[in-house]
Amino acid sequence: MKFTFSWLRDHLDTQHSLTEICDALPMLGLEVESLEDPLRHLSDFLVAEIITAERHPDADRLQVCTVDKGDGKPLQIVCGAANAKAGLKTVLAPVGSWIPGSDMTLKEGKIRGQASQGMLCSYEELAMGQDHDGIAELPADAPVGTSFASFAADAELPASDPVIEIAITPNRGDCLGVRGVARDLAAAGYGNLKPLDFSEEEGCFASPLTWEIAEEAKPLVPLISGRLFEGVQNADAPSWMADRLTAIGQRPISALVDITNYVMIDLGRPLHAYDADKVEGDKLTVRLAEQGEQVEALNEKTYTLEEGALVIGDAAGPDDLAGIMGGERTGVSETTTRMFLEIAVFDPIRVATTGRQLNLHSDARYRFERGLDACSPIEMAGYIARLVNSICGGTISHLVVEGNAKPARQSVSFAPEKVVQLTGVDCPLDKQVEILSVLGFELDTSQPIWQVAVPHWRNDIDGAADLVEEIIRIYGFDKLEMASLPRDEVVARPSYSPAQKRSLVLRRTLASRGLTEAVTFSFLKRKDAELFGGDNDALMLANPISNDLNMMRPSVVPNLLQAMGRNLNRGIEEACFFEIGPVFLSPDAEGQRMAVGGVRQGRRQLGDWQHKEQPFDLFDAKADLLAALSVLGVRVDNLVASRDVPAWLHPGRSGVLRLGKAEMGVFGEVHPAICRAFDLPEGVAAFEFWLDNIAMPRRKGPAKTPIDLSALQPVSRDFAFIVAEEVEAQKLIDAVRRAARDVVEAVTVFDVYQGKGIEERHKSVALNVRLQPRDTTFSEADLAKIADQIVATVAKNCGGLLRG
């Protein structure tokens, strides 16, 4: 909300400076968003008087002036303004000052040969207005030699008024008027709230227009008042009002419109002015709209209403969106002479709902939504009537009122020790009473539990905690004592549970394998989601920010592929990413999984003088997956791979790893069609698994299992088997393990060969088997026996022949 400093001082009797006030506001919860002080650059400028003014000897349009600046040392100044004449009081910019209106720093110099020791300024040069001819003309009693800035502030010169903009939190509807802000400042000791004449205005005739509230609208219209102003003149608003509205960025329109806007800012009280001559019939009815009714609002747009919106209408139909915007048909114009003024309180929720349905924002709606002074339709009516009358003349009718004229004040039971309980600050009782009283609360402190009546402009207060906030907010947050949290444990416990810690360990594991962590959005476009099996309509966003982000993701891989694409387009050749983040199967909490995925594209090994270049392939993804599972405690030797992969993977170059029946993860090369859809080269390696699927290892205490460090040397033996092409290496490895389970420590595939010397559709697989003796070293006979067992088992299980 914007207002000017002088406006604030209309309500607040204060000696505090603008700076002090602006420092105080945020500490009351009223955050200062901006401060524009036209005088802040004018601190060196002085009130001065022209003593003599004579024609410049060498220039017809210039005068040479002697100027008194109050210190008995007159200056000579060359001035081009036609209105410069002896005896004029004006504004002197001394040498060295910066002129805000022309953005220049003033130097002493000669103008056409005559010394000039300063400058006499126009309002335009002072950045205080544009349509001024010549230099500023100050009143004759302006004190020569004083600071122009303080003179201008005291005299409230037009455009000298600093503009303050504050942010109002949604609970403080009462501070959407200048008076509310002044009240808070007064409570905090920054001056006194000036009294305002809220006495009733009797009026001198009965209003020919009255209110009617339809039965079904009654709960939504607690109180509404109105009165007729007969014989008004709707000319321009007075300049003091127009200047203030201009200063806060509102365009003055006409006296009646400006008065409604002014009162809205001044008292936080939106009004609506009808041209009574345009109202059909003798009553205005507040009712609920029927589906499809239309209103042309004051912004000249026509709105089609949904059933239940609050509207006000006459015999000719609805013409006011209650609490949001008036109607064009019955609005005032410059020819209006009979004006009916509405002061209403409407249900904030209904106003908000209708405003949102119509997507219509207004300053009035903003205030109605946040709640208005419940008594204002009656209590402010007199003050407002006199304001209208003083500006527009005419006569005032009696007030017509509908609704509950005496809304009950809410009362809160309050134990004053609640302040120290909640805040730790022991605010003295008399201070508590004082703060609440200045804020408008009425207290009964006769019992240990006080009864506190809430002012009718504070609809944010309904409990003891609210009162504590009022007290500590005004008493000062700076009084809060810093108390470190008591330590319950001398040695802190871990903050991550063992299950939560897994993400941290995985992150380090994958990053140390050369994958960089990406954080991507949890949503993507449906088309991409579908490629990864995401087709659950329930996961579509109802209000996506764009159609590229309209569905919750089923996998982290599509987002990582997009990230990869962006990087490849930037000319980056090795793009390896992982992400640990949520994916979604259904909208309920059970449908969310923590996915771990990674992608690789580019070269595993860059070619150089030492190495041959090697591209990433599915085995890099397999290694990533195994490394991740292994660090989670999965016994990777027991994993079984199969080819029943999801459709986004290459069917021949990918696999699913299972432990028993439990799926542990997938790896492989991304399906060429998917690569094409994401505009990527083929052969992107990827893996993904859901952390939720991996059981926590069973562990009792930190102790590790005992280790058996054999004193006996292991023996290494090589075998090459010729098997049919389709026999998988894992099958050979399993067969070798099975053949001598007790002693086979490791099996390594060190060569796979097809081609010359090997039968068609067959391959040679070379294995290195490491054998660990248990009790005694192997004899040659032992080794021969083990080798025979291996060869026999491989022959039996895999149809493999030992290569000769």
Which 572-611 residues touch other proteins, going by CB under 8 A?
572, 574-578, 581-582, 584, 587-589, 591-592, 606, 608-611
Nearer Cβ to other proteins, position 606 or 749? 606
State the Cα–Cα distance between residues 183 and 172, nearest whole angstrom: 12
State the Cα–Cα distance between residues 579 and 597, nearest whole angstrom: 6
Q: Please, which of residues 357-386 interact with other proteins by CB under 8 A?
A: 369-370
Under rule CB under 8 A, how many of the chain's residues touch other proteins? 102
Q: Which stretch binds other proteins (CB under 8 A): 15-23, 44-52, 333-341, 509-517?
A: 509-517
Q: Is 567 near other proteins (CB under 8 A)?
A: yes
State the Cα–Cα distance between residues 435 and 549, nearest whole angstrom: 51
Q: Which stretch binds other proteins (CB under 8 A): 10-18, 562-570, 720-728, 730-738?
A: 562-570
CB of 411 to other proteins, least distance (A): 17
Q: Which stretch binds other proteins (CB under 8 A): 24-32, 285-293, 382-390, 449-457?
A: 24-32
State the Cα–Cα distance between residues 198 and 298, nearest whole angstrom: 30
Nearer Cβ to other proteins, position 251 or 356? 356
Q: Is 497 near other proteins (CB under 8 A)?
A: yes
Of the chain, the end-to-end C-alpha distance in Å amounts to: 92
Site for other proteins (CB under 8 A): which residue of 6, 10, 16, 27? 27
- The strand pair at 283-288 and 210-213 is best described as parallel
CB of 646 to other proteins, least distance (A): 23
Nearer Cβ to other proteins, position 98 or 496? 496
Other CB atoms within 10 A of residue 283 CB: 15
Nearer Cβ to other proteins, position 279 or 539? 539
Q: Is 240 near other proteins (CB under 8 A)?
A: no
Token output for 180: 């509310």
Q: Please, which of residues 522-561 interact with other proteins by CB under 8 A?
A: 522-523, 537-546, 549, 552, 560
Task: Tell me if 4 sits within 8 A of 37, measured CB to CB.
Answer: no
Site for other proteins (CB under 8 A): which residue of 507, 658, 762, 803? 507
Site for other proteins (CB under 8 A): which residue of 488, 708, 760, 775? 488
Q: Please, which of residues 332-351 interact with other proteins by CB under 8 A?
A: 348-349
CB of 368 to other proteins, least distance (A): 11
Q: Please, which of residues 30-69 interact with other proteins by CB under 8 A?
A: 31
Token output for 572: 């980056």
Other CB atoms within 10 A of residue 203 CB: 19
DSSP-assigned letters across all residues of 250-272: -----HHHHHHHHHHHHHS---E
Q: Is 481 near other proteins (CB under 8 A)?
A: yes
State the Cα–Cα distance between residues 452 and 48, nearest whole angstrom: 56
- Residues 439-458, mask of contacts with other proteins (x by CB under 8 A): --------------------
- Residues 400-439, mask of contacts with other proteins (x by CB under 8 A): --------------------xxxxxx--------------
Task: Tell me if 800 sits within 8 A of 727, measured CB to CB.
Answer: yes
Q: Please, which of residues 139-198 interact with other proteins by CB under 8 A?
A: 169-172
For residue 384, CA distances in Å to 12, 197, 208, 462 come to 19, 10, 19, 29
Q: Is 490 near other proteins (CB under 8 A)?
A: no
Nearer Cβ to other proteins, position 64 or 472? 472
State the Cα–Cα distance between residues 291 and 740, nearest whole angstrom: 83
Token output for 461: 């207060």
Which contacts (CB < 8 Å, 24+ apart) does range 680-683 have? 680/561, 680/564, 680/565, 680/568, 680/601, 681/568, 681/601, 683/601, 683/615, 683/616, 683/617
Q: Which stretch binds other proteins (CB under 8 A): 94-102, 284-292, 482-490, 793-801?
A: 482-490
